[in-house]
Amino acid sequence: EVNGAERFSGGVVDLPPGRGHTRHNHPGAEEIIFVISGHGEQMVEDEKGNPVVAKVGPGCTIYVPESRFHSTLNTGDQPMQLFVVYSPTGPELVLRELPDFKLLPAGT
């Protein structure tokens, strides 16, 4: 809706220290997470449903296969900022329901 893309969407997610996203998935969609700043733990379940946890920090890129369960936790003492991309579009719409969600107009 903001940038005109039809096959993917993206946005910035800010996680305060000690906060994160609980285990969830995006049915029918893949996700790429790029860590801009901060440190945390990223869990992505393997093809058998076993949780695989890795420490992540600035410059890390995480691939979440279609419909795979995953979670993110900011384990640092500073805010964690992520850039996320979903393909196809749709999973980002649930983020709009969060109390601190902000939609910035294109170009800002």
Collapsing DSSP to helix, strand or coil, 40 comes out as strand
Is 4 a domain residue?
Answer: no
Is 50 a domain residue?
Answer: yes
Q: Give this prediction's pTM.
A: 0.83
Is 81 a domain residue?
Answer: yes
Number of domain units in the chain: 1
Tell me the pLDDT tens digit for each residue of 25-48: 988 899 999 999 999 999 999 999
Is 55 a domain residue?
Answer: yes
Provide the CATH number for the domain around residue 17: 2.60.120.10
Tell me the pLDDT tens digit for each residue of 61-90: 999 999 999 999 999 999 999 999 988 866
> Does residue 96 contact residue 104 with C-beta atoms inside 8 Å?
no
CA–CA gap between residue 108 and residue 99 (Å, rounded): 21
